[in-house]
Amino acid sequence: MTPVASTSAAAASLPAEVWTWGAVAELILSGLAVVMGVLLLLSALTALMGRFFVALEARRAAQTAAPQKTAAASAPETDEALPQGLIAVLAAAAAEILNEDVRIVRVRRRPDIGSGWAVQGRMSIHSSHQLRQGGPH
């Protein structure tokens, strides 16, 4: 193996230290091992934090679900702007499709999909996806 010597001006004032290729490889591999170890530790820590927050959210959802079940049993929740006739039509359609009696517990309007610019942009993107007719060519 050929030794690797530093030839810079700053290194000239230091004692001559000779590096072999084996020592360089050992330094590189040990540095790589340290970096990978730290990354593994960070990955395990973030996975643990994720599980903690999922469990916390599940606990909160379970605590809030119990009061909502009793409220839902008393009366259906509806948006005040929805007419009762629409709710009746929805119940009839669901009963017809499922072939069993249904009870509507909650009806909500779809949230606003955004400004006119966003809708127009989505329409432009969707209309640019042209499907070929007649199979593959």
Domain definitions of the chain by residue range? 19-74, 75-110
| pLDDT value of position 51 | 93
Q: What are phi and psi of 107, to 5 degrees?
A: -130, 130
| pLDDT value of position 101 | 87
| pLDDT value of position 13 | 62
- The count of residues in the chain is 137
Chain-wide mean pLDDT for the chain?
Answer: 77
pTM of the prediction?
0.36
Query: What DSSP letter does each residue of 57-88 carry, written as one string?
Result: HHHHHHHHHHHHHHHHHHS-EE-TTS-HHHHH
The helix (run of H) or strand (run of E) holding residue 9 is helix 9-12
| pLDDT value of position 61 | 84
Q: Which of 25-39, 67-81, 106-120 has the highest mean pLDDT?
A: 25-39
Calculate ∠ Cα 70-74-77, nearest 5°: 95
| pLDDT value of position 27 | 93
Query: What DSSP letter does each residue of 83-105 carry, written as one string?
Result: -HHHHHHHHHHHHHHHTS-----
From the list 76, 82, 85, 83, the residue with the least C-alpha distance to 104 is 76
Task: For residue 77, list its beta bridge partners.
Answer: 106
Residue range 8-31, pLDDT digits in tens: 555 556 566 778 888 899 999 999
**What percent of the chain clears pLDDT 70, i.e. is strictly above it?**
67
